[in-house]
Amino acid sequence: MEKDIESYLRKRVTAAGGLALKLVCPGFTGVPDRLILFSGGRVCFAELKDTGQKPRKRQLRVHGMLRDLGFTVYVPDSKAAVDKMMEEVVPNEVHTP
């Protein structure tokens, strides 16, 4: 379930010393679920999905806007996808699942 993947993401980010802030933007739809922040100014976004699900059209449009601004947007749909994201965002993190 999406909430399980989101919970896993929050725990992984926190364990790596970062913040995974829930994004709520009244009046602006399609924003990713989480703003992820790490030391050194590393910033990315995560749009959590159930396994096999894809972002909606509006979400894809907003993801494109964020990418055009130079941000990275991940769309993890499993714990393994969160692990892959974390390897890219925090390459030297030591993780024991």
Residue 48 lies in a domain: yes
What is the arithmetic mean of pLDDT over 91-95?
A: 67
Q: Which residues pair with 20 in a beta bridge?
A: 36
Instruction: Give 68-88 pLDDT, tens digit per residue.
Output: 999 999 999 999 999 999 999
Residue 66 lies in a domain: yes
Secondary-structure breakdown of the chain: helix, strand, coil percentages, each rounded to the nearest 5: 40, 20, 40
pLDDT at 91: 78
Instruction: Give 5-23 pLDDT, tens digit per residue.
Output: 999 999 999 999 999 999 9
pLDDT at 95: 54
Residue 8 lies in a domain: yes
Residue 83 lies in a domain: yes
| pLDDT for residue 92 is more than 90 | no
Instruction: Give 11-61 pLDDT, tens digit per residue.
Output: 999 999 999 999 999 999 999 999 999 999 999 999 999 999 999 999 999
Residue 42 lies in a domain: yes
Domain count for the chain: 1
Domain around 60 = 2-89
Residue 96 lies in a domain: no
Residue 94 lies in a domain: no
Write the CATH number for 38. Answer: 3.40.1350.10
pLDDT at 94: 58
Strand runs labelled E in 1-97? 19-22, 34-38, 42-46, 72-74
